[in-house]
Amino acid sequence: MTPEQYCQNKTAKSGSSFYYSFLFLPKTKRLAITALYAFCREVDDIADAEMDNNIKLVKLEWWRSEIESLFNGSANHLVTKALTSPIKNFNLEKKYFLEIIDGMEMDLEKVRFANFEELNLYCYRVAGVVGLLSANIFGYNDPKTLEYAKKLGLALQLTHIIRDVYEDSLRDRLYLPLDELENFGVTESQIFKRENSEAFHKLISFHAERAHQCYRDAFAALPIQDRYNQKTGTIMAAIYENTLNEMESDQLQVLKHKIVIPPFRKIIIALKTLFKEWWSYRKYKTA
């Protein structure tokens, strides 16, 4: 199996919404973003695995050394071999790969965040820096696009957190800031017992609106001249915000089940967004 085939299989098997946004990229960029996503999946799978945390730390430390090897020109893993050309072609910085691993290590502790500032740091490490790396692959001219990429990463991760409250509770993970739980009169115990109270509904509604605002902030920061190049990110945003809308239509019953958009709808959303971005780009170029 070639490095590219391995990354393709890793990405496709994940069933992630990201996979559907990659389909519309030219080959060089598609291979690069697929390799980046495969790396994220490798380290995330370690954080989520059912094994002793000390073993997880050893595995993540191995990945740190493998990133060093990658940037020294001696990659060993199929994923890092697939990343060898992208890091040169798209100027991908080593520090961002290491920060992603830092984020995964945060998941090895008893996951609690005292406030949104702490949660924001976690989101930056596991999603914001992925946005920065992705923006380099997609291409940009205005540095303001990097601010968009960080903000979009936050929006996507907040949506992910809202969607996965139930699954995370089964792992004793709680990503909703503790001071906000207190402000809304919700306890950790109520969440872990999956008590769907009016107070919890107000809390999770507050988080949903925060996520929507992050999407608005992200797109407000995206320069018009770079918008078409960043269309893969806007497709991801459309799929994720559609998921958020679906959760709200379901009265945010996130303690009962997980809302999942079926693949055919993801493809439809992707195609609609792609056409919208193409049309906007066409009008921009002819203005």
| Cβ–Cβ under 8 Å, residues 205 and 252 | yes
| Cβ–Cβ under 8 Å, residues 204 and 162 | yes
In 3-state terms, what secondary structure has residue 72? coil
Cα 209 versus chain centre, distance: 18
CA distance 60 to 98: 10
Nearest to 80 by CA among 31, 36, 141: 36
Domains and CATH numbers, the chain: 1-109 (1.10.600.10), 110-287 (1.10.600.10)
Burial of 114 (0-12, 13-18, 19+ CB in 10 A): exposed
User: Residue 96: CB partners within 8 Å, gap ≥ 6?
Assistant: 129, 130, 132, 133
pLDDT tens string, the chain, 287 residues long: the values are 899 999 999 988 766 667 777 878 999 999 999 999 999 999 999 999 989 999 999 999 999 999 999 999 999 999 999 999 999 999 999 999 999 999 999 999 888 999 999 999 999 999 999 999 999 999 999 999 999 999 999 999 999 999 999 999 988 999 999 999 999 999 999 999 999 999 999 999 999 999 999 999 999 999 999 999 999 999 999 999 999 999 999 999 999 999 999 989 999 999 999 999 989 888 888 87
Alpha helix segments (H runs only) across 110-262: 116-123, 129-138, 144-163, 165-170, 178-184, 188-192, 198-221, 231-249
Q: Say which amino acid occupies 14.
A: S
- 284 φ, ψ (degrees, to nearest 5): -65, -45
What are the tokens at 4? Answer: 């590219």
CA distance 21 to 27: 13
Nearest to 230 by CA among 121, 150, 127: 150
What's the pLDDT score for residue 19?
72
Q: What is the pTM of this model?
A: 0.93
* Residue given tokens 């601010």 in the structure block: 147
User: Residue 23: CB partners within 8 Å, gap ≥ 6?
Assistant: 30, 270
CA distance 38 to 5: 11
What are the tokens at 9? Answer: 């299989």
